[in-house]
Amino acid sequence: MSQPNDDQPIRFAMYLRYSSEMQNEISLDEQEAACRRWIAARGGRIAGVFKDGAETGWTLNRPGLVEMNRQAAKGAFDALIVWKFDRLARDPTHAMIIKGYLRHQRGLKLFAIEGGSADDDGTIASWLNEQIYAVFAALYSMNLSVDTKRSKYHRALEGKFNGSIAPFGYVLVTEKEASPDRPAGLYIDPRAAVLIRRIFRMYATGEHSDHTIAQWLNQRPYVAQIRKGQKPFSKESVRDILQNRHYTGRVCYAETQYRGTLGEGKRSNRKRKEWFDGRHIPIITDELFEACQDVRRQNTKVRRHPSVVHTYLLQDKVFCARCMGRKPLDIEDANYGKMRAGWLKRLDAGSYRCQARDRGYHPCEQGYVLAEDIDVQVVNVLKNLTIPDGVTERIEAAIAQNVQHEAALEQIAELTERMKRIDVSWENGFLNPEEYIEKRRALQAEIEALRPLAYDNLEESVDLVRNFSIYWDACGKVEDPDVARQQLLDRLVDRVFVYDDVVVGLALYADFSVVLAAPTVFVNHVNGNIQEAVESVTGDLVVARTQSGSDGIYTPFSHPIILTSVYSPHYTVIRIIRNYPVAIAA
């Protein structure tokens, strides 16, 4: 990563974490405020804020940490500031590896508000100070972990529920909400309990699958009422319900375990649970529960895992345009419309398949599309991108227009608070959809105008666009061409939207809007833009399917649109670039 010039302020990123096991520690807002003051006092500027709420430091499978590393790889910032280094990891070995990786592989300087850093002055004393704080943080966390496990085990022995979210069919009264007449614990929700008994009986007949039961549940008015804005029931969530012994009046304990030496993710506890008689009232009988388990065992099929590992160039980036075009406004689901990569044995080819049906949403007319067809379209788009004249002037103007001092940060915070108040008004029905979207657009435009841009990132974006064909061909000469090309596409492409085997949307990362001279349009939801993109090319699609290009090669359509995207916690920014093939953000 290139280091900043002496006359340029250091670009800082903040990483904030709030532990799931230490609910009395400093909040994310307090951490952020402290980091902002620290940066402002040193004349730096903020280039990114990455957060993990209610996430333990014993695992690395944290969305904010993963995204921070991803942006660091792109050179988005020069230094990282945290409240304490135990925000990165509790285990001293994990912390040492992470800090070493960020310093030596990503070229970052690391600072902590409390605890000191080896980067403070580069002396041995600073380095030793950093290590001592890390060890004490780990000891504290280990003691807390032991106490927490002991407490949870004894709670289970006493028949108390250990979770923070009640199983569907129950209502959880927490210790804070408890009263002498209504102690803490699980209480039956009568209307939901009726549905739970019904689905257990349905499955016990052997005539229903997890999927058909999920569809049945999602059609119940009461389910739609109490789960408004939440993900619908899927076959996976129904499977978990039908294997959950809480419904028989029991509670469980299972020690949390992590995969890999760095805690890459939690291990399943399905086969490690210890069950105890609970204090809550059961919804179903043991006999009905065991009958369902017998049916499941009879339906289980042994599947062989493929011995060949396939690489998909656009894995986790392909989305169904049909689904995105009709996404409900009140659904918060980052994976809505995502198409799963997989191998079709009968065709001996890779594919991307719409998951709407499996995830409990409306049936989708688009089943699967061949991966090669989508890959070719996306690569052709990128190979044919051209950079309009004056790119150097545009970059310099964009950098100059960005305000980089504390006043801008305060203004962003103020505008964000106003946006939250608008969200509350929308949720309480005080604004109609048109008013809500218009107000958010205006505020978002103001916020984005204040956000800092990174000169190095823009220069890299120019290079990627200008020399994409050269890099693509060079990837074909390495030991694993598909992996190399997958990594290349990951530097440019955020999301791809597919409509009946045709790419109708391609989201590039935000910096490309400056490089490609994009006019900017701010919107709150992407579904309207998906619909417009599909409608805008439908006529061309119909004609193109009966014709070939002048060179005799089939062309899907000739005048699609490219968009680039910027993500924020509560909104989406869409930048439209006309006259280039395809792009839309989510």
In tens, the pLDDT along 291-336 reads: 999 999 888 765 555 556 788 999 888 988 888 777 776 666 778 8
* 306/310 Cα distance (integer angstroms): 9
Q: Which of 204-213, 456-465, 514-523 has the lowest mean pLDDT?
A: 514-523
Mean pLDDT of the chain: 76
| Both structure tokens of 37 | 């003051």
Q: Residue 547: which pLDDT band, with cuts at 50, 70 and 90?
A: very low
pLDDT at 169: 94
How many other CB atoms sit within 10 Å of the CB of residue 301?
Answer: 4
Q: Which of 100-104, 290-294, 494-498 has the lowest mean pLDDT?
A: 494-498
Pairing of strands 520-523, 274-277: unpaired
Q: Residue 200: which pLDDT band, with cuts at 50, 70 and 90?
A: very high
pLDDT at 160: 93
**With contact defined as beta carbons under 8 Å apart, do 186 and 166 qualify?**
yes
More confident residue, 542 or 286: 286
Q: Residue 50: which pLDDT band, with cuts at 50, 70 and 90?
A: very high
More confident residue, 27 or 108: 108
| Both structure tokens of 200 | 């257990």
Highest mean pLDDT: which of 79-83, 363-367, 528-532? 79-83
pLDDT at 464: 81
Mean pLDDT in residue range 75-94: 85
3-class state of residue 72 by DSSP: helix
pLDDT beyond 50 at 180: yes
Q: What is the pLDDT of residues 216-247, one digit of tens each?
A: 999 899 998 888 778 889 888 999 999 999 99
Q: Which CATH architecture has domain 170-299?
A: Alpha-Beta Complex (3.90)
pLDDT at 490: 85
pLDDT at 414: 76
More confident residue, 545 or 274: 274
DSSP 428: T
Measured over the CA atoms of residue 216, residue 218, residue 219 and residue 220, the dihedral's sign is: positive
More confident residue, 444 or 154: 154
Q: What percent of the chain has pLDDT over 70?
A: 71
Mean pLDDT in residue range 502-518: 67
pLDDT at 454: 56
More confident residue, 277 or 356: 277
Mean pLDDT in residue range 9-22: 79
Mean pLDDT in residue range 404-433: 69
Instruction: Measure Cα distances from 166 to 251, 423, 478, 579 in Å.
Output: 12, 27, 51, 51
pLDDT beyond 50 at 408: yes
Q: Which of 58-67, 153-162, 203-212, 545-554 has the lowest mean pLDDT?
A: 545-554
3-class state of residue 276 by DSSP: strand
Mean pLDDT in residue range 342-349: 87
Kindly compute the dihedral angle of the four CA atoms of residues 172, 176, 177, 182, in this order, to the nearest 10 degrees: 80
The values of phi and psi at residue 248, to 5°, are -95, 10
Return the ∠ at Cα 150 (arms to 147 and 153), rounded to 5°.
Answer: 150
Mean pLDDT in residue range 25-46: 87
pLDDT at 586: 31
Q: Check: pTM over 0.95? Answer yes or no.
A: no
* 542/552 Cα distance (integer angstroms): 17
Mean pLDDT in residue range 484-501: 84
The yes or no reply on domain 11-142 and CATH 3.40.50.1390 is: yes
3-class state of residue 175 by DSSP: coil
Pairing of strands 318-320, 493-499: parallel
pLDDT beyond 70 at 510: no
pLDDT at 240: 93
pLDDT beyond 70 at 578: no
In the chain, domain spans: 11-142, 170-299, 383-402+453-577
3-class state of residue 251 by DSSP: strand
More confident residue, 174 or 436: 174
| Both structure tokens of 49 | 């804020």
Q: Residue 494: which pLDDT band, with cuts at 50, 70 and 90?
A: confident
pLDDT at 384: 81
In the block, which residue shows the tokens 């945290």?
A: 82
Q: Which of 185-189, 435-439, 554-558 has the lowest mean pLDDT?
A: 554-558
More confident residue, 420 or 41: 41
Q: Residue 524: which pLDDT band, with cuts at 50, 70 and 90?
A: very low
Mean pLDDT in residue range 18-24: 55
pLDDT at 543: 23
More confident residue, 55 or 66: 66
pLDDT beyond 90 at 58: no
Q: Name all contacts of 402-409 with Cβ < 8 Å and 24+ positions apart.
A: 402/450, 402/451, 402/452, 402/453, 403/450, 404/9, 404/45, 404/452, 405/40, 405/45, 406/36, 406/40, 408/450, 409/36, 409/40, 409/46
More confident residue, 546 or 386: 386
pLDDT at 241: 95
pLDDT at 570: 27
**With contact defined as beta carbons under 8 Å apart, do 22 and 147 qualify?**
no
